[in-house]
Chain A
Amino acid sequence: MDNEHTPQIITHIEHNMNHCLFDCKWIPCSAKFVVIGSLPKGTGILEIFEITSGELKKVKEIERPVSFKCGTFGASSDVERRLATGDFKGTLEIWDLEKSCQVYITKEHTDIINSIDGMGGNIVNCGAPEIVTGSRDGTVKVWDPRQKGKPVANMQPAQGETRRDCWTVAFGNSFNDAERIVVAGYDNGDLKMFDLRTMSLRWECNLKNGVCFTEFDRKDIPMNKLVATTLEGKFHVFDVRTQNPSKGFAQVLDNSAKSGTIWVARHLPQNRDVFITCAGNGQVSLWKYKYPEQRFQVDSTGVAVGVAGKLQRLQRMVISSQPINALDWNRDHAGLAVATAYDQYVRVLVTTKLNLQ
């Protein structure tokens, strides 16, 4: 690809916050985003910013006694736009940001909620609105905002087994009201795929390094691709269309970048084959997955085996001096993203020329 059509990644706005940031999310249907973090004194803070002609304007802030860790709008409709947050003590809260009050509080996890994902809020016929949380206590719990207090599903290690720290969770495969899958990544490199319809473990593997982040390219289609990023600068892309009973899913591994832990990988909402990874050295890289000629082959015994594609790096750019720990693409405006990093900056990034072909 020539330079002419290479996407550019530019830091549009940079804003210093003077406290630790953990997550950021665009508020659906608005030019606003919420930044989730913790103040030096240990209290949690939610701040809402609005971008107006190249500047950030703080709209609102909410402070709570316990640090927040993560948040999602996924289980809320575009009208309600309720933020679900997980905090350091294991409390799941759903916020009405307009009125700055919680509409749902439950504390079932005994330790920090590391990761949260939501589904079913804004897309119809893709199942119930549900939130999944993964915690250091080793459990993954699925919640329905309509059911107070108790999770609707709970995945935890069998009695007597060591409880591994769950670092990341994600929904996927939710293409109708019944089907839904949760993937969870653990600190020991385990990646587990749970089927919520059959309430069973569908697949698992070990990626050797702790799994920092995982995401399906789309949540609301029959599962297509899954990205899992790990410590030590490696990430895996699985083609999850074709599952072989013995070999599992085909995968492509990238360890070219010696960039330290890859904290986040986010697929572009407008193009599921393009995703961005955010690394420990403050570098963001834009990738494109190229499908192979045929996505599966039938082996001698007549069983289909998936064929992995190739990864192409479109662009990379160091934007921060410290690890970038969260990034969120804007759903409504292609190429617009917000990212937080451990250098206490929140950045609005723009990526041009993303309509590649």
Chain B
Amino acid sequence: MDKAFELQRQVRNDVRTLQTYLTDLQNWEVEMKRKEAALNGEFEQDLPPVRSKARKEKPVQEKKETAKRIKASDYGAWEKFDVTDSWQEKACEEVDTAEVGPTSLDSKKSLPAKMEKLREEAQYEKERGNSFVKQEKWDDAIACYNRAIELVTDDAIYYANRGLCHLKKDSLHQAEADCTEALRLDPTYVKALQRRAAARERLGSLRGAKHDLHEVLKLEPHNADARRQLGAVVARMGTKGAKSKSSPTSESNPSPPTKERPKIVELPPSAGQLRQEEGAEQRWREGRGEEVTVIKPVKKPPHLRSKRALRHVPIQEILLGRTIVDKPATRLEIVEIEDHAHGDSNNNDSNKLKQNSGIDCDGDKNIGVIGDRFDQIDPNLVNSDKVSASMVAPTNSVQFILEWKSLKGNDAARSDYLSIIEPSKLPAIFENALESDVLADVLRALHAHPDTFTRHGVGEYLRSLCRVKRFSALAMFLSATDKELLRHMLARCRAAAQLSDSDVVELKHKYEL
């Protein structure tokens, strides 16, 4: 008998292990897909020489050989990596042979005539590229511009044109990098700005796009295209949700649109305070009156970035008076980096961060700003305002639950948090992880502060909650008090005309009232 039990237990254990494994596997598949998409052809290898060559050649020659190879495998090789079809492969070989010319010319660079020749050649390549662009042969055009860039590295036009080709090919990151390079060479290059704006818009870096378009309009106030594009970007930003709005860094744009400001502040202080606050922020931004060195974000195209590995920076907690900032502060920081990096998430310049006496990590900067900014505000408001300002809408249930728990006992903050969540996204956030106690808490928060939900309306939330998976099961566990709250809320919604009579009947049915 014992043996039978033992066997059964064994089988059950095995099945459980397998199930865990398969769940893991599924997560891994998703993760791998994401990682694979992130592989963007950026690599560098310092390889030992080919065996037969290392053997045969004299040491001097061998040295020359490797030097040449490194050159090819550097930026140039990276550029060439992009080519697509077999025709291009031939082109690559062509380049290799063509390159012998320029490199030998390079040694006598002092002669201006040689430089002139290089320029001519590059110009010719550009013309060819332009004709390919007209025929919409993007890959061929990119190859031409690559060669042009190899010959003359400091002409913005080549980069901008290649950026256009990348843009047409939907290689958005490369397009953005090219335009950035072009702008580095010529900051007033309107076409490059417009192309970068287009790339950024499609990458989802709306603020970056807006910034670029503002620049365009500064340079060419009557540029109708840019105006239209800007309109589209601003419209998209308006619908993008609280994430971009609640970020405190939109002032980093040179001409901040003031109409967005009121939405950012949850509990709007008086106008004087607002100005003060901005002054404080400005002061913080420049690091005045503080024992800190301000680290400005560095933007670089991928090929110019440091190849060194990132250095580990230990994070230390610093307590500033009563304001204890933990998780929310870090999230705030994440948003800020996104903004400065203009959507380029793999900006790995953090090794530029020199350790400073005042700053040990990025997070501390935040502590600085929060302490500084809210010292001047009524202490009663500090808590909720601080929390809500740093809240970010969750994308999954884990984030939600974490945040939700951290806000325990602070119902006002909880309703603020709910209010930044798009109600239509609730089913996607919770999937099947909504627990009955969380649901009860959510209902309580919805009930307690109905005026927080001006943007979407309590009814909208109630309707979305019904669509969460397994909701019918959860509804069974609602307590009598919860149901009382619900009835009250539904009545209020009907009174405020947020819900029609039929909706209310349907919801009552769903909540089993």
Binding site for B on A (CB under 8 A): 3-4, 8, 10, 12, 29-31, 51-54, 77-80, 99, 101, 103, 120, 124, 127-130, 142, 144, 146-147, 150, 152-153, 177-178, 196, 332-333, 335-336, 350, 352-353
Contacts and interface: CB of A to CB of B under 8 A. Distances in A.
Contact of A152 (B36, B47, B52, B86): B52
Nearest to A129: B47
Contacts of A30: 32-33, 35-36
A273 to B, nearest CB: 21
A98 to B, nearest CB: 8
B22 A350 contact: yes
Nearest to B43: A79
B304 interface: no
Given A8-B14, A31-B32, A353-B17, A101 B43 contact: no
B47 A79 contact: no
Closest 9 CB pairs between A and B? Answer: A152-B51, A79-B43, A31-B32, A177-B48, A152-B52, A31-B29, A144-B50, A128-B48, A30-B36
A101 B86 contact: yes
Interface residues of B, number: 35
21 contacts: A4-B13, A8-B17, A12-B22, A30-B35, A53-B26, A53-B29, A54-B22, A79-B39, A79-B43, A99-B85, A101-B89, A128-B49, A144-B51, A144-B52, A146-B50, A152-B52, A153-B51, A196-B51, A333-B25, A350-B22, A350-B25
A151 to B, nearest CB: 8
B29 A79 contact: no
A142 B10 contact: no
Nearest to A145: B50
B45 interface: yes
B18 interface: yes
Contacts of A12: 22, 25
B14 A78 contact: no
B43 A77 contact: yes
Nearest to B28: A333
Given A30-B35, A80-B81, A99-B84, 16 more contacts: A4-B13, A12-B22, A30-B36, A31-B32, A54-B22, A77-B43, A124-B46, A142-B51, A144-B50, A147-B53, A152-B50, A196-B51, A333-B25, A336-B25, A350-B18, A350-B25
B41 interface: yes
B39 A78 contact: yes
Interface in B40-81: 41-43, 45-53, 69, 81
Contact of B10 (A4, A80, A124): A4
A54 to B, nearest CB: 7
Contact of B48 (A29, A101, A127): A127
A142 B52 CA distance: 10
Contact of B52 (A77, A124, A129, A150): A150
Given A12-B22, A99-B84, A335-B21, A124 B45 contact: yes
Contacts of B41: 79
B22 A52 contact: no
A29 B81 CA distance: 19
Contacts of A196: 51
A152 B36 CA distance: 32
A3 B51 contact: no
A29 B39 contact: yes
Contacts of A103: 89
Given A10-B18, A31-B33, A352-B17, A79 B42 contact: yes
Given A79-B42, A79-B43, A335-B21, A128 B32 contact: no
A29 B84 contact: no
Contact of A31 (B28, B49, B50, B53): B28
A59 to B, nearest CB: 11
Nearest to B7: A3
A29 B33 CA distance: 9
Interface centre among B10, B21, B36, B86 (most CB of A within 10 A): B21
A32 to B, nearest CB: 8
A332 B32 contact: yes
A223 to B, nearest CB: 19
B35 A29 contact: yes
B296 to A, nearest CB: 31
Nearest to B92: A103
A12 B22 CA distance: 9
A120 B51 CA distance: 13
A120 to B, nearest CB: 8
A350 to B, nearest CB: 6
Contacts of B24: 333
B214 to A, nearest CB: 36
Contacts of B33: 30-31
A245 B85 CA distance: 53
Interface in B104-161: none
Contacts of A4: 10, 13
A130 B51 contact: yes
Nearest to B89: A103
Interface in B411-470: none
A153 B52 contact: yes
Nearest to B13: A4
Contacts of B10: 3-4
Nearest to B14: A8
A54 B19 CA distance: 12
B388 to A, nearest CB: 38
Interface centre among B17, B49, B50 (most CB of A within 10 A): B50
B18 to A, nearest CB: 6
Contacts of A336: 25
Nearest to B40: A79
A333 B32 CA distance: 10
A34 to B, nearest CB: 14
Interface string B311-354: 00000000000000000000000000000000000000000000
Nearest to A199: B55
A8 B17 CA distance: 9
A128 B50 contact: yes
A245 to B, nearest CB: 27
Contacts of A77: 43, 45
Given A79-B39, A336-B25, A128 B47 contact: yes
